[in-house]
Amino acid sequence: MPPAGEIESTPPRANASAPGAGKIESTPNSRGASVISENIGVLGVKVRKVGPWIQRDIEQVKECKADAMLQALLQRASSAPKTKQPELLQKCLKAVLPVCNGQFSTALVKSSDIQTALNEYVCPGVENHFYSPFIRATNIALACLEEIEVDGMRAPVPAVDMICQQNDMPMHQMHQTRKSIRKPDLVILPLNSACVPFQDKKGSKKGKQSGRQKSKQKDRQKNDEKDDEKNDEKDDGKNNENDDGQRQTRRKAHMDTSATAKPQNLPWKDVLACIEFKRKTAGRTKGIKEPPSSYTLTDYVPTKPEYLPIDHLRTADPAPAPPQTPATQTASDTASAAQSPGLTAAQPSRGGSSSKRKATDTLESAAKKSKGNHDDKDADADADADLDVTVQTGLYAAEMFAANLAVNYLLNIIVVDDVAWIWYYDRQGIIQCSGINFIQDLPRFMVLLYALQRFDLHDWGRNKDFLPIEVEGKSCHEFRINDEKLGEVDLLLHTSHDERVTHYGLQGRATNVVPVTSEALTKKYGKFEDGMVAKIFWGEASRTSEPEILKKVEEIAKRHATVQGHVPELLWHHTFTNPTSAIREALDVPEPTTGSRVLYILVFRKLFPITRLHGKELFDVWRQCILCHVTLWKEGVYHRDVSPGNLMWYWKGDKRIGVLNDYDLSSLADDPGPRGNERTGTVPFMALDLLTKDGQQGKVKHVYRHDLESFMWVFTWICLRYKNGVPLSRGLRPLDEWATLGAVACGVEKYHFQGHMTASAPFGSGIDEVTWDFIVDCFLVLKRDADERYYLCLKRSSSSGEGQQPNTHDPDPDAFLSRFTNLEGWTKLGKLE
């Protein structure tokens, strides 16, 4: 292990080759927001805890040209989305020019009002004063663009009828037992969803606006005011008017009254995109360059910056130096500074060495702060304002992913002064396009709106295969598909069930586990007493799939009693043919297929988590999983992700049967080697060898003893953090920090734990003396083995003159396991009373 001073600042890019390494021996550890779901009970979803993990994903963003993104979005909204139509962008740019130049009008709006709103937008002022003119310009443009026809493009989608809506209000969502609070500036919603917060139970408009708002609206509405009041009175709250004229009138009424008002309790499930604003100091004090007198068809002009890096705003617009005498700063000065953190960034730079602070540095400080702060009641609604805008918007994307099932991708928009950047998120990663100056290059912004207006919900990234329905007052999703062997397979996914396990994050497998019922599967297998669950996740396309690995596992189980009954029974599965690489190929992103993902759904019988057990019952299930694991390893199935969540059990008569679960990160001996860019292992439980800098760069071969060591960390974790199957309270629960640190830093903490176990003796967990002595003996075995390998490495390097890693020696699995099974504690704990 490296000393504490050698903690790396940021892990390597997930798919980057180690410097000088000819072959990656184990899959590098891509640590981003996936850690949140793995440890959501420890981390929660508060900004100060999860922001650094989101930032790690943002730091791996890919880039593409704005015109390439616009072309891809137009292609998606075209009449033939699978047929390449390279001329679409130019055709649409030409078609929107009359709208940009104020030469287009409808029965309800005039495009010349867009220019009026933009002239208001460019004036000096603070950030939130610019929401209203931006919203007005966008919604007027949408009303005009609805009537623009371009050959090859679809018509607008009335069922969606997107509208730009002010938010700037807290939005809440539950993640397992934790509630998040986020506050996006603006959102894009279906019109029906935007209207709901402004209606009472009978469907009529509720509430009154402030006098200031009314005054501004009277100036804008002029002669239309009386007609709008009549429309308001006629509005009976029906959200699905079939008559297009009524829909447009209703839309106009919302544009003029509610689109620039703050809604209460918008649900994340309805949000199509978020728009986040920032203003630089120059934009606040001097204003922005005015719109041109007219627009023509021009080539793209790169913005400055062309792409938006993390901390750009802090670097370009640094905060003033702190006063020499802080005591003289007034309360009003402090309040003003707190209200306009402006533009920024994950964390301020310290020490003056650099304006950019990497996510890992933030993780270290966040972990230290959290050690002494166990209060979950601290307000989080405004905390995201202190983050860099890229991380802030990433947090919104994580909420949008979590709000709907099996989301394919998302779009958000970041606006800094007069430049907008489109951010595209899917489970392979993040792509941002070069900036679009929507004041000077309004036609390109209009084309963006034109494309989005023609998106149905599937084009927005919602999964059309999972249909939301309501069953007995509960929200569910229905999935039906024809199967070659079973005919139609029906799955009713109970997505509002308390036992649903959701995912919080941006990229990776994004595993959801949902209770499921199915007439077809019940007919084939009978009714399981504890029910069934569906596992929905995005697996790497280059890996051997989990169904393929489970097929191999099933064959091994027929020959070995230690495996039979101790592995999950796969009842049914389906692989979707929607690789995430397709958009990257269209955008000409480098290495588009690296880390490409496809969606899987697998159905299993329901199992129980090992964390419910304690004492000898815990040991018995844990031991069964170890014996299953070693047999599979010798037979060529390498699990590679031993963690509490992957050790399960079920009842068979009056006996608990341990199950080694989750094979989506496993590999087979006849595979050529790790090919994915995702981690193999869950950091708090990974072997120390793999938590070194070399281990994170893929230089350390993943061998059997690494997985067995993970079993020891899992057993220790459960014993010290649970009492009688229930998690201890935070004040009594050790090891939380392991889940909040980066991989190398976590390795340092675990190395310290192993060397100072007398200081880690349990207080309050209820762990008995036999169990604690067994844990101590297990780590003594691990330490002796590490020392033996280290000294062997020294001898070999001195004799050969070449340095060798102490990790190349891989003992026989049975021989290494016997060092633990021969311990006195193994025998004592194995005797169930």
How confident is the model over 308-319, as a mean pLDDT?
73
Q: How crowded is the C-beta side of 173, counted as CA atoms within 13 Å?
A: 25
How many other CB atoms are found less than 10 A from the CB of residue 440? 18
- In the predicted model, what is the mean pLDDT of residues 275-294? 87
Task: Please name the residue ranges forming H helices in 372-420.
Answer: 389-403
411 pLDDT above the threshold of 90: yes
> Residue 22 has what pLDDT?
40
Give me the pLDDT at residue 204, please.
57
Q: What is the mean pLDDT of residues 389-393?
A: 95
Phi and psi at residue 482, to the nearest 5°: -80, 130
Q: How many CB atoms sit inside 10 A of residue 126's CB?
A: 12
CA distance 434 to 446: 16
Which DSSP category does 289 fall into? Answer: P
Token code pair at residue 528: 């399981």
Residue pair 511/427 in contact by the 8 Å Cβ criterion:
no
**For residues 123 and 640, what is the distance between their CA atoms, to the nearest angstrom?**
58
Listed range (198-212, 545-559, 674-688) with the worst mean pLDDT:
198-212
pLDDT exceeds 80 at position 789: yes
Among 466, 493, 503, 494, residue whose Cα is nearest residue 176: 503
Residue 224 has pLDDT above 90, yes or no: no
pLDDT in tens, 805-814: 555 567 799 9
Q: Are the C-beta atoms of 601 and 535 separated by less than 8 Å?
A: yes
Residue 334 has pLDDT above 50, yes or no: no
Q: Which runs of E-coded beta strand occur in 622-757?
A: 637-638, 647-652, 655-660, 667-668, 722-723, 726-727
Q: What is the per-residue pLDDT for 6?
A: 29
Q: Quick one: which H or E segment has residue 246?
A: helix 244-257
Q: Mean pLDDT over residues 399-419, rounded?
A: 96
Could you count the other beta carbons within 10 Å of the beta carbon of residue 382? 14
pLDDT at 329: 34
End-to-end CA distance of the chain: 40
Q: Tell me the pLDDT band of 520, cut-offs 50, 70 and 90.
A: very high
- CA dist 46 and 53 (Å) reads 12
Mean pLDDT over 427-450 rounds to 98
CB 76 within 8 A of CB 68: no
Give the chain's domain count: 1
Q: pLDDT at position 383, please?
A: 59
Mean pLDDT score across all residues of the chain: 83
What number of helices (H) and strands (E) belong to the chain? 27, 24
Cβ neighbours of residue 802 closer than 8 Å, sequence gap 6 or more: none
- Answer for the pair 510, 542: CB distance below 8 angstroms, yes or no: no
Between 518 and 801, whose confidence is greater? 518
Average pLDDT estimate for 380-387: 63
Token pair, residue 160, equals 């969606």
Pairing, β 467-471 against β 647-652: unpaired
Measured CA to CA in angstroms, residue 776 lies from 296, 685, 713 at distances of 75, 16, 11
Look-up of token digits 């069930």? 497
Residue 767, in any domain of the structure: no
- Per-residue pLDDT of 466-485, as tens digits, reads 999 999 999 999 999 999 99
**Residue 646 · residue 664 · CB < 8 Å:** no
Distance from C-alpha of 697 to C-alpha of 691, rounded to nearest angstrom: 10
Neighbour count for residue 374 (Cβ, 10 Å): 11
- Contact 163/189 with Cβ under 8 angstroms? yes
Task: State the pLDDT confidence band at 367, using cuts at 50, 70 and 90.
Answer: very low
DSSP 363: H
Lowest mean pLDDT among 33-37, 549-553, 668-672, 769-773: 33-37
Residue 785 predicted with pLDDT over 50: yes
Phi and psi torsions of 420, nearest 5°: -115, 135
Structure tokens at 599: 């969606």
Which domain, by its residues, includes 298? 58-168+181-232+241-313+358-453
What's the CA gap between 423 and 394, in Å, rounded? 9
The residue among 596, 639, 649 whose CA lies nearest residue 618 is 649
pLDDT class for 34, splitting at 50, 70, 90?
low
Burial of residue 783 (number of CB atoms within 10 Å: 0-12, 13-18, 19+): middle
Rounded to an integer, the average pLDDT of 197-224 is 52
Residue type, 107: A
Q: How far apart are CA 415 and CA 656, in angstroms?
A: 56
**According to the model, what pLDDT value does residue 724 have?**
87
Whether residue 722 is contained in a domain is answered as: no
Instruction: Dihedral sign for Cα 356, 361, 366, 372, please.
Output: negative
**pLDDT (0 to 100) of residue 318:** 57
Asked whether 307 and 432 are in contact (CB, 8 A), the reply is yes
Q: What distance in Å separates the CA atoms of residue 179 and residue 780, rounded to the nearest whole number?
A: 41
- Whether 432 is covered by a domain: the verdict is yes
**CA–CA gap between residue 822 and residue 812 (Å, rounded):** 16
State whether residue 742 is helix, strand or coil.
coil
pLDDT of residue 342: 33
Label residue 230 by pLDDT band (50, 70, 90). Answer: very low
Q: What is the mean pLDDT of residues 629-643?
A: 96
Q: How far apart (Å, rounded) are the C-alpha atoms in residues 417 and 517? A: 51
> Rounded to 5, what percent of the chain is helix, strand, coil?
40, 15, 45
Higher per-residue confidence, 176 vs 276: 276
Would you say residue 213 has pLDDT above 60? no
Other C-beta atoms closer than 10 Å to the C-beta of 565 total 15
In a domain, 686, yes or no: no
The arithmetic mean of pLDDT across residues 409-419, rounded, is 97
Place of tokens 């979590």: 402
Looking up tokens 């950019």 gives 356
Q: What is the pLDDT of residue 806?
A: 53
Query: Which of 431, 414, 348, 402 has the alpha carbon at shortest distance from 510?
Result: 402
Euclidean distance between CA atoms 389 and 311, whole angstroms: 8
> Where does the pLDDT of residue 364 fall: very low under 50, low under 70, confident under 90, or very high at 90 and above?
very low
State which H helix or E strand residue 830 sits in. Answer: none
Looking at the predicted structure, is the pLDDT value of residue 215 above 60? no
Amino acid of residue 262: K
Say if CB 303 and CB 437 are below 8 A apart.
yes
- Going by C-alpha positions, the residue among 402, 505, 121, 51 that lies closest to residue 279 is 121
> Is residue 426 situated within a structural domain?
yes
Provide the pLDDT for residue 387: 85
- Taking only the tens place, the pLDDT of each residue in 720-768 is 999 888 888 877 888 888 887 888 999 999 999 988 887 666 665 678 8
Looking at the domain assignment, is residue 641 inside a domain? Answer: no
Q: What does the pLDDT average to over 287-314? A: 92
Q: Could you tell me the two tokens for 149?
A: 């026809």
Number of residues in the chain: 833
**583 against 327, higher pLDDT:** 583
Residue 385: pLDDT band (50, 70, 90) is: low
Residue 27 has pLDDT above 60, yes or no: no
Output the pLDDT for position 175. Answer: 86
What's the Cα-to-Cα distance from 717 to each of 464, 710, 753, rounded to whole Å?
Answer: 40, 10, 12
Residue 60: closest CA among 302, 275, 309, 411: 309
Does 263 reside within a domain? yes
Instruction: List, in order, residues 6 or more apart from 353 with CB less than 8 Å away.
Output: none
What is each CA distance from 173 to 182, 369, 804, in whole angstroms? 9, 25, 51
Distance CA 604, CA 607 (A): 9
Tokens (6 digits) for 290: 């005015």
What is the dihedral sign for C-alpha 342, 345, 350, 354?
Answer: negative
Q: Phi and psi dihedrals of 89, rounded to 5?
A: -60, -50
Q: How many whole angstroms separate alpha carbon 444 and alpha carbon 300?
A: 9
pLDDT top residue among 480 and 124: 480
Whole-number pLDDT of residue 25:
65
Is residue 112 assigned to a domain? yes
Per-residue pLDDT reduced to its tens digit, 526-558: 999 999 999 999 999 999 999 999 999 999 999
pTM for the full model?
A: 0.84
Question: What is the share, in percent, of the chain residues with pLDDT greater than 90?
Answer: 62
